[in-house]
Structure 1
Amino acid sequence: MIPAVLTLLVGLNPLVTGNVIWKRVSAVHVFFCVVWAASLAYHLMLQAQWNVLQEEEGRELFGLVIIATWMSLCHSSSKNPVGGRIQLVVATVIALFPFTAWLYIYINKEMRSSWPTHCKTVI
């Protein structure tokens, strides 16, 4: 909910990223996301799970990386509210990644074979 509120504030007023309170809340949230993502990555490495999209922890790891990257983009936009080409490309990739990952998993028959029954009958 924290990144959603922070992003909503940016959507309503892009200059809010220059606010000290917004910057601190954003920085603390990104820090906790990175720490939690590192712990999940360590947990997955200990279990030698290399197909991380099959594991709940792997999907959560990708979600945390997306949130941390998105909030970092918003945090750095206070210097240049319009943004550069690189920021635009990164934002587009981040926004499209969940859809492309879902499409890859849905098309890949090997991955679908290990799904639980309730996941196979959803679509």
Structure 2
Amino acid sequence: MGEVGEKSEKARLDVVWRLCNASMALFFGLATYVQINDPDAGLWMVGYGVPSLLCALIGWWPQVTESAPWRTVADLHVLLSSAVVSILGWTLVKERVTDIFQREEGREFCGLLLTVFWLLLCRHSGRSPVGVLRVSTAAAIAVFPFVSWVYYYVNKELRADWPSHCKTAI
């Protein structure tokens, strides 16, 4: 491929990368909003609001991942979220939960695990042009939460046993 072709490919990858981060910013923002009815809303709003802001910054300025403030906030969020994910995961294993989306702890586990994976995927993405593997992974991950949310929204019987605060936000 010629130099012009390589530049246009990098430009396309950059656009897709920015769109994936904008999508995840939107998703994490929506996840922040739906926590409004949760008994421990403040905790979960921070848990999703921070990644939403970090993703929005990447969508606007991809090189932000190389700044000390972005890395510090992202690393702290990954550290704390990993600890909570470990605790929730252990609880789910100990209680032998199989339908994790039917338990609040399971949904919390999956949501935080998604924030951890996404922020790790974004780490150091501003060093050099993003590659095909990172962008392909990002596109696959960015589609998943929206498809899942729509699936559960359409299939009301799947939400029948959820607590009322999980059913009323949207």
- Flag whether TM exceeds 0.5 (same fold): yes
Residues 38-117 of structure 1: pairs in structure 2 closer than 5 A: 38-80=86-128, 82-105=129-152, 111=158, 114=161
Structure 2 unaligned spans of 5+: 1-48
Is the CA contact (8 Å cut-off) linking 2:63 and 2:127 kept in structure 1? no
SS in 1 for 2:97: coil
**Residues 1:12 and 2:60 are matched in the alignment:** yes
**Identity over aligned pairs, percent:** 35
Structure 1 portions without partners, runs of 5+: none
Amino acid in structure 2 at the alignment position of 1:18: E
Give the match's secondary structure for 2:123: helix
Segments of 4+ moved more than 3 angstroms:
102-119
SS in 1 for 2:81: helix
Return the offset for 1:21. 2.0
Task: Give TM-score scaled by structure 1 length.
Answer: 0.79
Count residues in correspondence: 121
- Report the Cα distance in structure 2 between the residues aligned to 1:52 and 1:104, rounded to whole angstroms: 15
CA displacement at 1:45 relative to structure 2: 1.0
2: CA distance between counterparts of 1:103 and 1:27?
Answer: 30
* TM-score for both structures, normalised by structure 2: 0.59
Question: Relative to structure 1, is the Cα distance of residues 111 and 75 closer, same or farther in structure 2, using a 3 angstrom cutoff?
Answer: same
Match of 1:29 among 77, 82, 91: 77
Say which structure, 1 or 2, has more relative contact order (CA 8 Å, 6+ apart): 2
SS of residue paired to 1:76: coil
Note if contact 2:66-2:124 (Cα within 8 Å) is conserved in structure 1.
no
Task: State the SS of the aligned residue for 1:78.
Answer: coil
Write the deviation string for residues 23-42 of structure 1: whole angstroms up to 9, x where unpaired: 12111111111111111111
Given that residues 65 and 71 in structure 2 are in contact (C-alpha distance below 8 angstroms), is that contact kept between their aligned partners in structure 1? yes
CA distance in 1, matches of 2:64, 2:154: 41
